[in-house]
Amino acid sequence: MPRIARGRSGTMAEPRSPIPVYAARYREADLSAFCEAALRAAGADAPTVDAATRAMMHASRLGVDSHGVRLLNHYVSALEGGRVARAPHLTYVRETGAVATLDAGAAHGALAAYTAMDRAMDLASGFGIGAVAIRNSSHFGPAGAFALAAAERGFVGLAFCNSDSFVRLHEGAERFHGTNPIAAAAPVRGARPWLFDMATSSVPFNRVLLYRSLDIPLPRDAASDAEGVDTQDANAVDMLAPLGGAFGFKGAGLAGLVEIFSALLSGALLSFDIAPMVGPDMATPRNIGAFVLAVRPSAFLEPEVYEEGMARYLRTLRRSRPTAGGEVLAPGDREWREADNRARMGIPVDPATAEAFAQLSLRYGLYLPETQSTAY
């Protein structure tokens, strides 16, 4: 492990494109193997190890570093403390036609979501649509990973999840909703899927933690201090702003929609009743809710009509006239581009995560992944 490079202090003026300073870059296979080894050492069973690593690597591969391997240390703590079951028993407690409800048994959220999406796709194969509500789950990381799992098999996929209260309402001065992500993915013939993944907050909390580690300022209108006053200092953040800035009622409304699907339809806890992700209680399961949906396009129209329509839509979108110096991209284009870049150059890891890896290595006697390149 190289000497950990610290980030440069940024001014409080909003940067157009802040340049982070990472500790090093690593090969994807090496990072994946280290995550698997650490999760096994923490006592996780094989399905949990596979699902948690798959989700983290999805995010790290596509450049969503806030939800990538930086979550490993948190997941290990949750497994060790008992918040997340090491060998969970997942049970479908209701099944009616094209819908089902999964009690995840305090499973890792990625295991619950992948399991539910597999079931949703099975239902969609027969009914044209399949929906699964999830309760008694935990933090599942990147919502896009589960929507993408559907698109990779030819389905349109959606994934929602609520989380502990950390986002104020529009013009509110206290925490109410979680970051409550919405993700969707759609298959594209002969190309990578259309992929959309967003938090209903201005930024996810894990991005705040990432910016703290990288020592760079947050964008304006992204977060607030304990009094609800906007701040760009990641260390001063007490709550996040809803998506939309001056029109934050839109983000707050979308967060409420996620709450309805994830918590109210599943029987999970509402965001303001969920224990904080960061603890201090790492022993009590949090009963987070989620919801996944799979749609089979051929149930609605001829497959070639869907495929040709999607191709024309994306072709026209990408040819749309940009602003001066701008670039028009379809959802997922930036992430797939970054995935190609990281396949060549390696996956970057921030300083705090590099230090966490070092501590996990010492605790469990694990070999650290070899660096592909040093700090930049």
Residue 12 has what pLDDT? 33
* DSSP string for 86-144: SS---EEEEEETTEEEEE-TT--HHHHHHHHHHHHHHHHHHHSEEEEEEEEE-----HH
Does the structure show a pLDDT above 80 at 296?
yes
Average of per-residue pLDDT across 167-171: 93
Average of per-residue pLDDT across 146-170: 97
Does the structure show a pLDDT above 90 at 21?
no
Does the structure show a pLDDT above 60 at 42?
yes
Measure CA of the first residue to CA of the last residue in the chain; give whole Å: 15
Residue 322 has what pLDDT? 96
Residue 170 has what pLDDT? 93
Average of per-residue pLDDT across 231-246: 92
Residue 375 has what pLDDT? 44
Model confidence, pTM = 0.90
The mean predicted confidence, pLDDT, of the chain is: 92
Residue 210 has what pLDDT? 80
Ordered by where they begin, the domains of the chain are 88-334 (3.30.1370.60)
Per-residue confidence at 15, pLDDT binned at 50, 70, 90? very low
Residues 168/202, Cβ–Cβ less than 8 Å? no
Does the structure show a pLDDT above 70 at 362?
yes
Per-residue confidence at 372, pLDDT binned at 50, 70, 90? confident
Does the structure show a pLDDT above 90 at 29?
yes
**Which residues does residue 161 pair with via DSSP β-bridges, in sequence order?**
290
